[in-house]
Every structure is written in C-alpha cells, then in structure tokens.
Amino acid sequence: MSADAAELRALTQEFLAAHPPASTPREEFLRARFDAGLAWVHYPQGLGGLDAPRSLQAVVDAELTAAGAPDNDPRRNGIGLGMAAPTILRYGTEEQKKRFLKPLWTGEEVWCQLFSEPGAGSDLAALGTRAVLDGGTWTVDGQKVWTSGAHNARFAILIARTEPDVPKHKGITYFVCDMTDPGVDVRPLRQITGEAEFNEVFLTGVKIPDAHRLGEIGDGWKVAQTTLNNERVAIGGARIPREGGLIGLAAKTWRERPELRTQDLHQRLVKLWVEAEVARLTGERTRQQLVAGQPGPEGAGMKLGFARLNQEISGLEVELLGEEGLLYDDWTLRRPELVDFEGREAGYRYLRAKGNSIEGGTSEILLNIVAERVLGLPPEPRTDKDVAWKDLSR
C-alpha cells in the first residue's frame, strides 16, 4: 500500500469517528462525506474529492463498508452519478459545479437525460428540439423519448438544436434543464413488460437561463460525447461478482432443477457462462483504464457485449424452464425507479432484456463506433455530413 493510500485510510477512519454511521442521520452522513472529500476522491477539493488518484476510491469504500456506512443508492441516480456528474466536472463553470455536484452525489436531487427523440433515435445528431436565445434566456420546444426516471428527476441534461443553418453535428448546444419548470410535461411510456420506467417528455416554451449551459454554444455534440462514453461504461461495465447477474440465475436453475436438463441446453449454458466471465473480466480491465483518464470508445464494445449476453441468457433461461418460463405474473402499469432483473421471474427478464440493445445507444450505432474509432476501419459513407440541418430530408 502506498503512503497516499495509508493517509486516505487514516482520514477515512477519522471521518468515521466524527460521524458514527449508527448514530448519524443518513443525509447528514452523506453530506459530511462529500464535504470531507471522500465522495469522489479523484475530484477536486471542495467538490467531493481530494485530487487523489481515482484508484484510491476503493480504499475509502472498503473502510466505509466495513463500518456499515450508508451509501448514496447509486442505482437510483445512475444517470446523475454516471453521466451528468463527469460532464459537469469537465465542462461546467465553477458556479455550476458548486450548485449541482453535492446534491447530485448525495441523491437529494435525481437526474435524467433528455437526449433521444422520436425522429432522431439512432441518429442522435439529427435531433430537432429547438432552443432559441433571447437576452440571457433560452426558450426550448420539442419532444424527447425513452427518458429513464424523468418522473422522479429534479434536473436533466439536455441537448437541443441552436443553429439549424449548419451541419447537424455542429449546431447543438448542451443545457441543464430544471424538470420542475413550467412547460415540462412528463408522460409514462409503457413498455413490453407492462411497466413504465421510461417516459416521453414534452418541452413547450421551457425557459433555461444561459447560466445553465454546459460548454460553448454550438459545441454540444462534443460535450455529449463525454456523457455518452460514460453512459456506455455505466450500462455495460457494472461490477458484478463471478457468476453474478443473469448467468448466475440461469446456472442456479440448472443446478436446482435437474429434470429440466438436456445435452443441448448444457452446451449452450457452458458457452454463455464462459462469455459472461470474459465480459466480466473485460469490464474490470476497462475500469482500470478509467483510472488513467476519461472513458474512450472502448466502452461501446462493453455495452454491445452486455446487451447480446443478456438477451441470449434470458432466452436460454426461458427455454430451460419450458412452459413455466412463459408465465408472467402481472401486467399492471407500474412506475418503478429501478430495473429489477434479478427480483422478477424469467419471463420479465426475457422481455426487459430486449431493450438492452436499444437503450444507451443502439447496437447498430455502437458497431459503427467500434469499427471506426476502435478498429480504425474506413468510415461509413455520410452524404449529409456537410449539409445544413434545416436542409436535411425528413
């Protein structure tokens, strides 16, 4: 252990002595942890960190877990923690960082992401939501879709068209949108599972102060790449134990239900088990790369593998269970905060996994990213690359 790690461990123990988890209210504990720089140790001092190496976060987390400290429920605010925070840190003003990062990290303010649109899903750069500047205020009109958690969010990261006279990638600007402002209308979007964790969001004359812009006007596509690269790592790179996740559930059924076994299913289960282990170890390697800097396009490969594996494993589980696997208990419309892959039945997992190849970037788009940015293959012909957005065919 390096001296820095030893110092960080001692600092964490001092913090725990001053804020005993058993007797400190949860929110008070989390706010104090942020102020002590133990939230994101690699963030700057005053913004939840200590300017320490990112790898040392594990030292802090181990000490806090051993002491029974509360966490900030990262699954509930995954978009805020995994996507909004790193984007604000990189492109936000000092005032924006001080305003947004602390309540985001403690979970007091949940975030969502207003990127996808009905007419610009896979081709995100073709988005048509407009933002017009008048004085120091932007007026935003448009529609977003597939917005996870918008019904619980206080803030959203939003990209909108601000310059229709330039090619589509150059006329986009990035904002922070207050979801409680007039003109923001969140409507449930029922999915194949019967649940509505996603939403449509209609924006009608929404006023956003220019002080809530991230990055330069017209530079939103570059800012969004930070968000998207982090999103793919967050979706595809969740840390799971060996034989965890869906492969663990399928293997458990295999062990406990010998009457369901066939030779063909055995071969397929073993193949998927090996692929799941390769994906898990690849995720560990990518997380180590993150320690050295920003996530790159390699995260697209992780997300691709995650989607394909989830769909194949959930399909195998349904086949393994036969008619029992087709049962589905409840189609009542619900508004869950989280995707409960492991707490529901096999039929739910099979249906919900279909969305894995759409959410967070479709598999087709991610294949292009891997081909061009990771493997260096020739780019796909793009006839609209130099055409003004307003002149594109729709």
Amino acid occupying residue 62:
A
Annotated active-site residue in 231, 298, 312, 317: 231
| Rounded Cα distance, 318 and 193, in Å | 15
Q: Residue 361's closest CA among 274, 299, 289?
A: 299
Q: Do 329 and 384 meet the contact criterion of CB atoms below 8 Å apart?
A: no
Catalytic: 231?
yes
| Rounded Cα distance, 31 and 50, in Å | 15
Listing DSSP states for 20-38 in one string gives -TTTS-HHHHHHHHHHTT-
Tell me which H or E stretch contains 7. helix 3-18
CA dist 2 to 5, 6, 217, 384, Å?
5, 6, 44, 53
3 state DSSP class of 201: strand
Q: Residue 257's closest CA among 341, 324, 312?
A: 324
Give Cβ neighbours of residue 212 (< 8 Å, ≥ 6 apart).
96, 175, 176, 177, 178
Amino acid occupying residue 310:
N
| Rounded Cα distance, 353 and 307, in Å | 7
Q: CA torsion, points 334, 337, 342, 347, in degrees to nearest 10?
A: 30
Q: Do 160 and 153 meet the contact criterion of CB atoms below 8 Å apart?
A: no
Q: Residue 304's closest CA among 362, 246, 372?
A: 362
| Rounded Cα distance, 349 and 249, in Å | 10
Neighbours of 376 (CB within 10 A): 8
Active-site annotation, residues: 231
